[in-house]
Every structure is written in structure tokens, then in C-alpha cells.
């Protein structure tokens, strides 16, 4: 994992170890999810659906993450790649490494992000622009 990203994750995990810094329904995997959102927003993928050009950072997380957010936002902004495809691969690897830290019940937000990012990766692979998103349950597709 990228050293800057790893430092961000370690710092926020340490910050949220203190239960007074946690919000209701806090899960440790939220930290990886929100750092993933920060990466996603920084990379500004051109093949993202128009209503998913950015991923919202939860007010609960933002209000609880301490004085670190602006500093870490700058750290994230300093991670750059030659192409969107390289940035996409970086984000996919980040998601896989993050998911490996948790059990299935803790992966709800990371799974959602992975589903969206993988669908976007398919558009890059097929060199198509997004027209609409099919929000049907992928388990029900034939």
C-alpha cells in the first residue's frame, strides 16, 4: 500500500480507538472506506457516472475525524498517476488490501465502493462512455 495512504489509515485508526471520537454505528472499516472516497474524489474519473463523479464523505465521519482532514486531503492530492487507468488500478488495489483486513459483516461500505469502481473499470476496459447505470441487483442478473 502507498506509504502516504498507510500513514493516513494508521493515524485515523489510532484516533478512532478512543471511543469518544467514534460516532454511532462506527465500524473500523469506515476509515478505509472514507479514505477510498477521498482517493476516488481526488482522481476525478472521467468515466464515472455523472451523479457519481464524487462520493460523499459522511458528516458523522467528517465531524469525528479530528484535525487531520485538511492535512490528509493534501496528502491524498499529492498522489498522482500518468493516466486515469493507473489511478483506477491503484484504487482497486487499495480496496482489495482494505477488504483483506475485515470480516464480511464489516465490508458493507467497501463492497459498495468496490462494485461501483469495478463497474467503472469495465467501462475503461471496453473504452465506452457511461450513458446510464443499471442499479439492478448483480446477483439477479443472468
Which of 52, 57, 3 minimizes the C-alpha distance to 34? Answer: 57
The parent domain of residue 67 ranges over: 3-140
pLDDT given at position 132 = 60
* Chunked mean pLDDT (size 10), the chain, 142 residues: 96 96 94 96 86 83 92 96 96 98 95 92 85 57 49
What is residue 38's predicted lDDT score, i.e. its pLDDT?
Answer: 96
CA atoms in the 13 A half-sphere facing the CB of 28: 14
Contact (CB, 8 A) for 36 and 58: no
Q: How far apart are CA 29 and CA 106, in angstroms?
A: 6
CB-neighbour burial class of residue 36 (10 A; exposed 0-12, middle 13-18, buried 19+): buried
What pLDDT does 16 receive?
97
Count of domains forming the chain: 1
Which of 140, 41, 33, 37 is CA-nearest to residue 97? 33
Amino acid at each position: 500500500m502507498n506509504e502516504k495512504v498507510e500513514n493516513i489509515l494508521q493515524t485515523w485508526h489510532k484516533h478512532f480507538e478512543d471511543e469518544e471520537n467514534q460516532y454511532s454505528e462506527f465500524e473500523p472499516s469506515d476509515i478505509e472506506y472514507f479514505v477510498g472516497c477521498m482517493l476516488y474524489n481526488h482522481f476525478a474519473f472521467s468515466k464515472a457516472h455523472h451523479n457519481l463523479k464524487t462520493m460523499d464523505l459522511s458528516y458523522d465521519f467528517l465531524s469525528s475525524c479530528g484535525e487531520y482532514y485538511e492535512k490528509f486531503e493534501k496528502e491524498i492530492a499529492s498522489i498522482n498517476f500518468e493516466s486515469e487507468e493507473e489511478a483506477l488500478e491503484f484504487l482497486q488495489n487499495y480496496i482489495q488490501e482494505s477488504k483483506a483486513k475485515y470480516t464480511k459483516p464489516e465490508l458493507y461500505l467497501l463492497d459498495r465502493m468496490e462494485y461501483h469502481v469495478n463497474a467503472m473499470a469495465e467501462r475503461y476496459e471496453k473504452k465506452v462512455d457511461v450513458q446510464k447505470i443499471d442499479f439492478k441487483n448483480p446477483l439477479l442478473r443472468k
